[in-house]
Amino acid sequence: MLPWRMDLTSRAAPPPAPRFHPRLWVAAAGLLLVPAAAMLVTREVDWGPGDFAMAAALLAGLCLGVEAALRWLGTPLSRIAGVGLAVIVFLAVWAELAVGIFD
């Protein structure tokens, strides 16, 4: 058989397994340790359980947005744009919750 002709009995390779970026999630969890450590050192940082829960939800949303952009967008430029959009949305929600910039 010629190399450029496809054999109809051959099977296509299975699709690649979904890619997971554990370093991204570990970095997000590490960011939650910063205010926890600061609370041990200074009284200026006074977070409650709700603050940690909201920060965890925001960081999880950011990580999910980055994972989605890297998984579903095909070209490198669109992936960069998708990750940038996820970061901009994260920062806008964070700023709104912190100081209410959109009021």
**Does the pLDDT value for residue 7 go beyond 60?**
no
Would you place residue 21 in the very low, low, confident or very high pLDDT band (cuts 50, 70, 90)?
Answer: confident
Q: Give dist(CA 66, CA 68) in Å, integer.
A: 5
Helix (H, G, I), strand (E, B) or coil at 67: helix
**Does the pLDDT value for residue 15 go beyond 80?**
no
How many CB atoms neighbour CB 68 within 10 A?
13
The pLDDT tens digits of the residues spanning 27-62 come to 999 999 999 999 999 999 999 999 999 999 999 999
One-letter amino acid for residue 96 of the chain: E
The predicted structure's pLDDT at residue 18: 60
One-letter amino acid for residue 15 of the chain: P
Q: Do residues 89 and 103 make contact, with C-beta atoms less than 8 angstroms apart?
A: no
pTM above 0.95, yes or no: no
The pLDDT tens digits of the residues spanning 65-76 come to 999 999 999 899
